[in-house]
Chains A and B, each alone.
Chain A
Amino acid sequence: GDSVTQTEGLVTVTEGLPVKLNCTYQTTYLTIAFFWYVQYLNEAPQVLLKSSTDNKRTEHQGFHATLHKSSSSFHLQKSSAQLSDSALYYCALRDGSSGNKLIFGIGTLLSVKP
């Protein structure tokens, strides 16, 4: 079935260094939209980025992601990690099979160390 894969459960990075969180997906349906959600400690998940256009870079709050349908990927990147970026990040997609639902990955915990 359709799925979203986040390969790293935990990513640890030093403040000021670049960070990349991986997200790949598998679907046989028309893909409609992709999301990155961020969840800070004891808060609700909220949308960080969303995209539906192949090969177009989307940016928000210093993070960026580019949807690559050729490689079924929507990786999240930032050039310089900040302590405040420490959070749980979810990748999610909506495609032709999910209706009005989103298919979520299991999440990647980002820990930024001084």
Chain B
Amino acid sequence: DVKVTQSSRYLVKRTGEKVFLECVQDMDHENMFWYRQDPGLGLRLIYFSYDVKMKEKGDIPEGYSVSREKKERFSLILESASTNQTSMYLCASGILYEQYFGPGTRLTVT
């Protein structure tokens, strides 16, 4: 079974803090993705990566950056957290068409 793990299920941070969300997959997938999910807005793609050190902006990259130094690990960075970044963050990995999601990190910025 594909396993995608995220470093935290719940996280509370203060405005202005730098936040790291980590995602690890164990299936040697080339593609990895970061989404955020908000009520009424659905799943929105922040960034994705199709190879080590490669990244592409999704629909809402502003305020975020990513890092992929190893194939199995994809990190999402909030340089200076703001309250409008309070959300559920979901990581996914995939090969070709299917995506496999982690359990999500519920981030609250106060």
Please indicate whether A and B come from the same complex rather than being unrelated chains: no
**Which of B's residues lie within 8 Å of A, judged by CB?**
none
**Which of A's residues lie within 8 Å of B, judged by CB?**
none
